[in-house]
Amino acid sequence: MLFNSFLFANFFIIVFCLYLCLNHRWQNRMLLFASYFFYGTWDYRFLSLIIFSTIVDYYCGIAIYKLKDIKRKKIFLSLSIITNLSILGLFKYYNFFLANLQLLLSDMGLSFNPNLLQIILPVGISFYTFQSMSYTIDIYQRKMNPTNRFLEFALFVAFFPQLVAGPIERAKHLLPQIHNQRKITFDSLIEGLYLIFWGLFLKSFIADNLGVHIVDPIFQSNTTYNGTKVLIALYAFSFQIFCDFAGYSNIARGLAKCMGFNLNINFNLPYFSTNPKIFWQRWHISLSRWLKDYLYIPLGGNKNGTIKTYRNLFITMLLGGLWHGAAWTYLIWGAYHGILLITHRIINLLFPNIKQLKIDFLHKSWTFIKMIVFFHLICIGWLIFRSNSLTQAYQMFSSIFNNFEFSLKGIGLKTMVFYLWILIPIQVLQYKNNNLLAIFTFKPIIQVFLYLIIFYALMLFGVTEKNEFIYFQF
């Protein structure tokens, strides 16, 4: 059941009407049933995975809290982590690692014929396993106490607005909102509707059209690549993946806000970043924080010297890349961003005053120049991320330098500009005002005018086919 479908619209209208009629206790029960129903429409068999993870983490959390012996606490923490990672590993990485082991042994002259599993990847499995697992880790680290309300914990794990593609919520943020009475205000309802509206626009008008008209024809081609078209397709994909994922996050936050919940912001103008550190504070924020708190810091963070800090950064980004999918392209993409983060630290270490660097004739544009340079470094990463193989990534990257034509005809530039002309000015406005809701600062007549433009753009050019969100596959 996709957010950008009439089926989901009808589903949410029914859920919202019931929500308004019920008291707090029954609201939570209804939302849990609705969340399981929502996920069951993808494949009801995978509901058992969510329920199993929920049961294990709920009782492990209680055990960790009640036990006084640290060794026994670690046993139940390990049980929670192993259970979640085993489920994730079996469905997402089992075939990948066995297939690569087979290739390695074959190159060594050894015969190995593994039994690969004929299974599909449960939608959103990476998101809800990380969310559920963080609960027991936080209890073990004494950051929170466990809940004794199983159904409400189950709702925390399966809350349908953010179930299949985040943001990855922490229990200490979302569980209190589930436990306590929620209040729907006029302002929260208006903000929620705006986020849903804007998210649908990002997905159906921008992301899907860029994918259909520019990105997919190039990346699905097996012919010799034209460097100019590759470059335009790469720019287009950079905005496609942003609008697709940010669109989902906005819709998720909007749906939740309509019911009185506040989910965390997952994207905050990431393409205005001037370095990799800032980028990961703005892109997929919930995953970045999860990796920092539960992987980078436990590895030692930056407390054990420069070399080990670089090691910890690289391992974190490498595993962050692998989190996105069982493919070498994702692994290398993660390694690439690890190298960017390490390089940024080295530059700051060698040139500690670089932040105060002033170049007279470029002073006013220095921040803009850094944004442009780093945006292109991001795009190189997206080429690796989007490619079907490392070979394709290399061929496409090489074509930019070896087969580049200085012609703007037939490369999709006008198409890309057509689908981005609304987004760019609004993002600039948001950046200058440091406010993702900057549109609300406009006079009502201007707001109505912008809403009408966006509405007609959706109606006339929005992709109506049921295109899944890119991050559903993760």
Q: Where are the domains of the chain?
A: 6-182, 187-473
Model confidence at 82, pLDDT cuts 50, 70, 90, reads: very high
For residues 364-377, give the mean pLDDT.
88
Contact 12, 255 (CB under 8 A): yes
> 328-360 pLDDT, tens per residue?
999 999 999 999 999 999 988 887 765 555 555
**Range from 105-114, 227-236, 307-316, 353-362 carrying the lowest mean pLDDT:** 353-362
Is there a contact between 324 and 333 (Cβ–Cβ < 8 Å)? yes
Long-range contacts of 110-118 (CB under 8 A, 24+ apart): 117/90
DSSP 204-264: IIIIHHHIIIIIHHHHT--SPPPHHHHHHHHHHHHHHHHHHHHHHHHHHHHHHHHTT--PP
Q: What is the mean pLDDT of residues 412-436?
A: 91
User: What number is the average pLDDT over the span 134-139?
Assistant: 96
CA distance 354 to 85: 42
DSSP one-letter code for 46: G
Alpha carbon distances (Å) from 378 to 274, 341, 356, 365: 11, 12, 24, 20
Residue 98 pLDDT > 90 = no
For the segment 151-160, the average pLDDT, to the nearest whole number, is 96
Closest CA to 114 of 93, 100, 127: 100
Query: What pLDDT is stored for residue 469 in this prediction?
Result: 74
Active site residue 324: yes
Q: Which of 341, 336, 356, 281 is nearest to 309 (CA)?
A: 341
Mean pLDDT of the chain: 90
Separation between Cα atoms, residue 289 and residue 301, nearest integer Å? 13
From the candidates 179, 324, 344, 376, give the one annotated as an active-site residue: 324
pLDDT surpassing 80 at residue 101? no
Each residue of 33-42: pLDDT tens digit?
999 999 999 8
Alpha-carbon distance of 238 to 244, in angstroms, equals 10
- Decide if pLDDT at 76 tops 60: yes
pLDDT in tens, 1-18: 788 888 999 999 999 999
Task: Spell out the residues 6+ positions from residue 312 whose beta carbon is closer than 8 angstroms to its own.
Answer: 296, 299, 300, 301, 302
Q: Does residue 251 surpass a pLDDT of 90?
A: yes
Tokens of 456: 């007609």
Listed in sequence order, the residues at least 6 apart from 152 whose beta carbon sits closer than 8 Å to its beta carbon are: 28, 175, 178, 179
d(CA 402, CA 376): 18
Q: Can you tell me whether residue 170 is helix, strand or coil? A: coil
What's residue 357's pLDDT? Answer: 56
Tokens standing for residue 71? 């060794």
- Tell me which of 98 and 45 has the higher pLDDT: 45
Residue 321 pLDDT class (50, 70, 90 cuts)? very high
pLDDT band at 474 (very low <50, low <70, confident <90, very high): low
pLDDT in tens, 111-129: 777 777 777 888 888 899 9
Instruction: Return the amino acid letter for 16.
Output: F
- DSSP letters spanning 409-455: TTSSHHHHHHHHTTHHHHHHHHHHHT-TTGGGGS-HHHHHHHHHHHH
Helices then strands, each counted (H, E), the chain? 22, 0
Distance (Å, whole) CA 226 – CA 402: 9
Average pLDDT over residues 199-218: 93
360 or 272, which is more confident?
A: 272
Asked if 230 and 414 count as a contact pair (C-beta separation under 8 A), the reply is: no
User: How many residues in total does the chain contain?
Assistant: 474
pLDDT category at 92 given cuts 50, 70, 90 is confident
148, pLDDT greater than 70: yes
Helix ranges (H only) for 292-327 are 297-299, 306-324
Q: Which of 188-197, 300-309, 394-403, 459-468 shows the highest mean pLDDT?
A: 188-197
More confident residue, 409 or 388: 388
- Residue 349 has a pLDDT of 85
Contact residues for 241 (Cβ-Cβ < 8 A; gap 6+): 207, 382, 385, 386, 470
Question: 427-457: per-residue pLDDT in tens?
Answer: 999 999 999 998 988 888 988 999 999 999 8
93 contacts 321 by C-beta, under 8 angstroms: no
pLDDT for the residue numbered 64: 96
Confidence of residue 67 (pLDDT cuts 50, 70, 90): very high
Residue 472 pLDDT greater than 70, yes or no: no
Question: Mean pLDDT, to the nearest integer, of 225-230?
Answer: 88
State the average pLDDT over residues 150-175: 93
Average pLDDT over residues 71-86: 94
Percent of the chain with pLDDT over 90: 69
Asked if residue 406 has pLDDT above 70, the reply is no
The DSSP secondary-structure symbol of 356 reads: G
pLDDT confidence of residue 221: 86
Q: Is residue 364 very low, low, confident or very high in pLDDT (cuts 50, 70, 90)?
A: low
Q: Out of 13-27, 34-48, 68-82, 454-468, which region has the weakest mean confidence (pLDDT)?
A: 454-468
229 has a pLDDT exceeding 70:
yes
Contact 71, 199 (CB under 8 A): no
Q: With contact defined as beta carbons under 8 Å apart, do 293 and 302 qualify?
A: no
